[in-house]
Amino acid sequence: MNSVYIHSGVSISAQNTFEEGIKEVEELKFTENSQVKAFKINYKEFLSPIASRRMATGVKMGVVAAKKVIQKAGEDTVDAIITGTGLGCVEDSEKFLNAVIDNDEQFLTPTSFIQSTHNTVAAQIALSIKNKGYNMTYVNGANSFEAALLDGMLLLNEENETVLVGGVDELGKRFINDYEKIYQQDVSFSEGANFFTLGARKKENSIAQLLNVEVFQEIDEDNLLKKIASFLEENSLKVSDIDAVILGINGDAYDSYYQKIQSELFTDTTQLKYKNLSGEFFTASAFGFYVATELLNKQELPTNCFFNSVKKEDYKTVLLYNQYLGKQHSLVLLTSC
Amino acid sequence: MEALKKELKENIIEVLNLEDLTIEDVNDDDALFGDGLGLDSIDALELIVMLDKDYGIKLTDPSEGREIFKSVEVLATYITENRTK
């Protein structure tokens, strides 16, 4: 598979990345229920009241991020819209299901049901930009965004010129409260929409090159080292060629996977983290991807992204590694262009 | 009647997520559909469910809705005459 170019990236996250990009910011602090909502954006600037009144948080974030990233790439439209999401439109799903229970399966209204499907965001993006092209949503837990990336790369290896790829997840209200009682980590649960335009050809405004993506459901820590080495070898690279490794460290018991490669593989590489800024959600790795593009494009990141003291003069090749609860591992390889 | 009209305006704004409107923005005789509030067919379904749930009125003939949902004034009159709860 040929590599592809990233023309633009937009992030809506717990930080004000939408307006300011990634800059020196405070780490997210635990709130009472250890959840942090996305930074408030004036959605009215981008969506008409008629369009937005039925949109839940995730749909608003996704549509606005998508519109801005297409505009930033200097495009009018794209050949394909591909989204990844872990929980989909959980806000409307909860609303609809709670109404079923509260009203004893009677008086069910259509709006939240219509908007509750996982592919609502991709569909609303298509409607808002009047796009009739390929439209796909991947729901693969913590690998949802990477699955979307892989599909985007495959499409660009065919006859498509530009595709939109993004990861989006919203907190919702009820489900996450129960979920966080079972699964705990140091960083807060959060939400966000991180969207990118990818192209088959390099343009003047290309911000990075996406070399390869690989996902695997399960692996033990020892085999992870071999897996990463063989992934790099497939791309004609050695560990020493990686200038920075960006890790999905979240402070749970499965951080041992990250510690293994930090201490045994990437000792002389800049080690970076991002979930202390974005929080944890199923498509938080899309925020990690945004951090990688920012590093390659601007050659700097906030100090609280740096895990170790190794600094490079020039950040050219970056590897992202993420997993969640020891499953749904992903490797994403980027280089500057 | 005035209390019912106020209640209807509050419910319509809440149920239909008319975020930018307050009850002061909705006149009793404003058209709910078309040029007035600009409601659509999905909103009509929401209103039918609201009538059933809150006032015990079951609309079986869809053509009835065209007249009943003309304005808050007409809707309030219809509810007053037909409510079962």
- Asked whether the beta carbons of residue A53 and residue B19 sit closer than 8 angstroms, the reply is yes
Along the 85 residues of chain B, how does pLDDT read in single tens digits?
899 999 999 999 998 988 788 999 999 999 999 877 888 888 998 999 999 999 999 988 777 888 899 999 999 999 999 999 8
B13 lies in which domain range?
Answer: 2-82
pLDDT at A107: 83
Pair A24, A82 in one domain:
yes
Question: For A111, which of B20, B42, B52 is closest by C-beta distance?
Answer: B42
Of A50, A103, A111, which is closest to B46 when you measure between CB atoms? Answer: A111
Q: What's the number of domains chain B is made of?
A: 1
Co-location of A88 and A52 in the same domain: yes
Residue A31 has pLDDT above 60, yes or no: no
Banded model confidence at residue A28, pLDDT cuts 50, 70, 90? low
Q: What is the pLDDT of residues A282-298, one digit of tens each?
A: 999 999 999 999 999 99
The answer to whether residues A327 and A215 belong to one domain is yes
Q: A64 with A98, same domain? A: yes
Residue A29 has pLDDT above 70, yes or no: no
Across A33-47, A101-115, A201-215, which has the greatest mean pLDDT?
Answer: A201-215
What pLDDT score was predicted for residue B17?
87
Across chain A, what does the average pLDDT equal? 94
Q: Taking residues A240-262, what's their average pLDDT? A: 97
**Do A191 and A213 sit in the same domain of this protein?**
no
More confidently predicted of B74 and A173: B74
Does the pLDDT of residue A159 top 70, yes or no? yes
What average pLDDT score do residues A225-234 get? 97
- pLDDT above 90 (res A200): yes
Residue A315 is part of which domain span? 208-335
Q: Do A96 and A186 sit in the same domain of this protein?
A: yes
User: Would the CB atoms of B18 and A53 count as touching at under 8 Å?
Assistant: yes
Single-letter amino acid, residue A236: S
Q: Identify the CATH number of the domain in which residue B59 sits.
A: 1.10.1200.10
**Which residues does chain A have within 8 Å of residue B45's beta carbon, measured at their own beta carbons?**
109-110
For position A21, which CATH number holds? 3.40.47.10
CA distance B51 to B55: 5
User: Are A92 and A240 in a shared domain?
Assistant: no
Residues 6+ apart with CB under 8 A from A144: A84, A85, A86, A138, A167, A282, A283
Chain B residue with Cα closest to A106: B53
**Residue A48: C-alpha distances to residues A52, A64, A114 (Å):** 6, 11, 19
Checking if the pLDDT of A323 tops 70, the result is yes
- Chosen domain end from A133, A166, A199: A199
Cβ neighbour number for residue A300 with a 10 Å cutoff = 13
CA-based nearest distance B18→chain A, Å? 6
State the pLDDT at residue A20. 87
Q: In the predicted model, is pLDDT for residue A26 greater than 70? A: no
Of B19, B38, B52, Cβ closest to residue A107: B52
Show which of A199, A229, A257 is a domain's final residue. Answer: A199
Confidence label for A27 from pLDDT (cuts 50, 70 and 90): low
Residues A181 and A220 placed together within one structural domain of the fold:
no
Please tell me whether residues A35 and A113 are part of one structural domain. Answer: yes
Q: Under an 8 A CB cutoff, do A109 and B19 touch?
A: no
pLDDT of residue B62: 72
Percent of chain A with pLDDT over 90: 82
Cβ contact, residue pair A103, B53, below 8 Å? yes
- Is the per-residue pLDDT at A263 higher than 90? yes
Measured between beta carbons, the chain A residues lying within 8 angstroms of B15 are: 109
A22 and A127 assigned to the same domain: yes
B1 touching A, CB under 8 A?
no
How many domains is chain A built from?
2
Provide the ipTM. 0.79
Structure confidence at residue A181 (pLDDT) = 85
Say yes or no: A17 and A159 in one domain.
Answer: yes
Residue A30 has pLDDT above 60, yes or no: no
**Taking CB atoms and an 8 Å limit, are B42 and A110 in contact across chains?**
yes
> Which residue, A199, A233, A265, sits at the end of a domain?
A199
Asked whether residue A235 falls in the same domain as residue A317, the answer is: yes
Q: What's the mean pLDDT in A54-60?
A: 95
Pairs from A39-43 (Cβ < 8 Å, separation ≥ 24): A39/A12, A39/A13, A39/A14, A39/A15, A41/A12
